[in-house]
Amino acid sequence: MTDQDFARWAGIPVTDARSGLGEADGLATRSFGGIDHWLAAEAAESTAPAAGRSRTYLLAGFDEYVLGYKDRGAVLAPEHAQKIAPGANGVFRPIIVAGGQIVGTWARAVRRMELTIALHPFAAAPKLAEQARPEAARYRDFLGLPGSAEPILRVEAP
């Protein structure tokens, strides 16, 4: 998170946010796209992705991963911003996160106890269905659908 994000969340001036973040134990800054972000010190020192960051996630449209930040540049390429919030009307589409980056959107349909998930990647992603399969199964379980009903995954052309 940036110091501006923290100030907005906490309802305090940016100078107070910077001071507090600077005094906090276990935090460090790392620059992404020329903007400093605060994160756990061990994550800032690592060059490898944090544990679990290589996983693919199917997140709801209003997940904090995208909503909680004024500048989303660390996780979303600017040219794709309109794809997750078309028309800038405050309605966000469900997102696909892979390797910590927002790489597409997704939609679901449930018919006759069968879950179909359409994946809409921003760029060609030949392994996306395979990578998203565990998340699709978790979502099926969340919906209370039978475990024997394997989710259908369709990857749409970018």
Provide the 8-state DSSP code for 87: G
Average pLDDT over residues 110-115: 91
- Boundaries of domain holding 18: 3-45
Does this model's pTM top 0.85? My answer is no
Question: Total domain count for the chain?
Answer: 2
- Work out the percent of the chain whose per-residue pLDDT is above 70: 95
Give the range among 30-34, 108-112, 154-158 with minimum mean pLDDT: 30-34
- CB burial string 42-52: b at 16+ within 10 A, e below: eeeeeeeeeee
Predicted confidence at residue 41, as pLDDT, reads: 83
| Same-domain status, 63 and 133 | yes
| Same-domain status, 65 and 126 | yes
Residue 47: pLDDT band with limits 50, 70, 90: low
Could you give the 3-state DSSP secondary structure of residue 65?
helix
Predicted confidence at residue 46, as pLDDT, reads: 67
Is there a domain that residue 19 lies in? yes
